[in-house]
């Protein structure tokens, strides 16, 4: 794969709109055409979905096909090979396995089974290096995260825990990942593997589970439908890190926000 730039985008709520209609369809059509017109650009979808659900989302919403899929909240990376097959990146998998001392998701779930606030998500939402839970909005999410870390620390294990809120179901979401696994670290892995200038890497997203990627130092697009508390936290962390110039708060939502952000960062070739 010879590419000179990378657009990595969240799916649901970013390139996949939360509402439908002709306007949303037209935005996706524009996005698909822009990707087709810029073959120098590697496109990665970065999602909490596993691969089959990610592919289903691409087909259902007529998204441009990606070169790379980062699935399960940054815990699996797949490259599209020249024969059209999806191949898992075993180098990345090995790093995650080492960081969890050989443990995988089911073993981690067993260690957390005694925490009553955690409601396991459906089996299809679990992965080798991702255990996902629901948390009632009445629960203290900070206390729940602390309990997870304490339970794992008793076994000399660490984890990266990500809390976000499902805006439709209005329920808390917790992902328990290996300590080196997250969207921002997957993004950094791709940047190094593709050997790109850092200025040529752009991330787009819309929610709390994109926060670490937003403030990772790569160029970032925060689409306009992002919740205000998340935007405020992005601003706060960007100021603290001195990376405000790398954050673009798009004035538009969903795919159009991604398009506007790519224009801001000069990611597309001029015509």
Q: What's the pLDDT at 218?
A: 98
Helices 105-112 and 141-153: crossing angle in degrees, nearest 10, is 110
Q: What's the pLDDT at 84?
A: 85
41: closest CA among 50, 49, 32, 30? 32
Token pair 């998998």: residue: 93
Query: How far lies 238's CA from each of 8, 110, 222, 242, 243, in Å?
Result: 19, 37, 12, 6, 5
Domain extent for 108: 102-177
- CATH number, domain at 172? 3.90.1070.10
Going residue by residue through the chain (271 aa), what tens digit of pLDDT does each one get? 689 999 999 999 999 999 889 999 999 999 999 999 999 999 999 998 999 999 999 999 999 999 999 999 889 999 988 888 999 999 999 999 999 999 999 999 999 999 999 999 999 889 999 999 999 988 999 999 999 999 999 999 999 998 988 878 889 999 999 998 888 989 999 999 999 999 999 999 999 889 999 999 999 999 999 999 999 999 999 999 999 999 999 999 999 999 999 999 999 987 5
Phi-psi category of 149—alpha, beta or left, where left has phi over 0 and alpha has psi -120 to 50? alpha
Of 147, 177, 207, which closes a domain? 177
Q: How far is the C-alpha of 254 from the C-alpha of 259, rounded, in Å?
A: 9
In a domain, residue 271? The reply is no
Of 125, 158, 177, which closes a domain? 177
- CATH number, domain at 12? 3.40.50.1000
Of 142, 177, 212, which closes a domain? 177
Q: What's the pLDDT at 172?
A: 95
Are residues 111 and 158 part of one domain? yes
Residues sharing a CB contact under 8 Å with residue 176, sequence separation 6 or more, in sequence order: 108, 112, 130, 131, 132, 133, 148, 159, 160, 161
In a domain, residue 256? The reply is yes
Span 164-195, pLDDT tens digits: 888 788 899 999 999 988 889 899 999 999 99
User: pTM to 2 decimals?
Assistant: 0.88
DSSP three-state, residue 130:
strand
Residues sharing a CB contact under 8 Å with residue 232, sequence separation 6 or more, in sequence order: none
Span 80-114, pLDDT tens digits: 888 889 999 999 999 999 999 999 999 999 999 99
Are residues 69 and 201 part of one domain? yes
CB atoms < 10 A from the CB of 17, how many?
21
Q: How far is the C-alpha of 48 from the C-alpha of 132, rounded, in Å?
A: 10
Are residues 132 and 120 part of one domain? yes
**Is the separation of the CB atoms in 32 and 63 below 8 Å?**
yes
**Helices and strands (H, E) in the chain, number of each type:** 9, 12
């Amino acid at each position: 794969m010879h590419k000179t730039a990378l657009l990595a985008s969240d799916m649901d709520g970013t390139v996949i709109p939360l509402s439908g209609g002709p306007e949303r369809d037209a935005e996706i059509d524009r996005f698909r055409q822009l990707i087709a017109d810029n073959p120098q650009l590697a496109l990665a979808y970065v999602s909490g979905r596993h691969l089959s659900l990610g592919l289903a989302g691409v087909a259902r919403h007529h998204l441009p096909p990606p070169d790379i899929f980062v699935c399960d909240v940054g815990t699996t990376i797949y490259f599209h090979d020249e024969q059209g097959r999806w191949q898992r990146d075993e180098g990345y998998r090995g790093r995650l396995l080492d960081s969890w001392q050989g443990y995988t998701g089911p073993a981690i779930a067993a260690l957390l089974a005694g925490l009553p606030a955690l409601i396991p998500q459906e089996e299809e939402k679990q992965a080798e290096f991702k255990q996902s839970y629901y948390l009632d909005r009445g629960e203290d999410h900070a206390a729940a995260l602390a309990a997870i870390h304490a339970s794992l620390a008793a076994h000399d294990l660490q984890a990266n825990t990500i809390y976000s809120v499902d805006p439709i179901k209005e329920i808390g979401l917790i992902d328990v990942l290996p300590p080196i696994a997250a969207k921002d670290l997957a993004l950094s892995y791709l940047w190094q593997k593709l050997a790109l200038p850092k200025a040529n890497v752009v991330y787009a997203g819309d929610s709390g589970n994109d926060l670490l990627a937003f403030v990772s130092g790569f160029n970032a697009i925060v689409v306009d439908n992002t919740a205000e508390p998340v935007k405020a936290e992005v601003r706060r962390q960007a100021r603290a890190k001195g990376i405000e110039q790398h954050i673009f708060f798009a004035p538009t939502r969903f795919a159009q926000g991604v398009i506007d952000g790519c224009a801001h960062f000069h990611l597309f070739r001029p015509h």
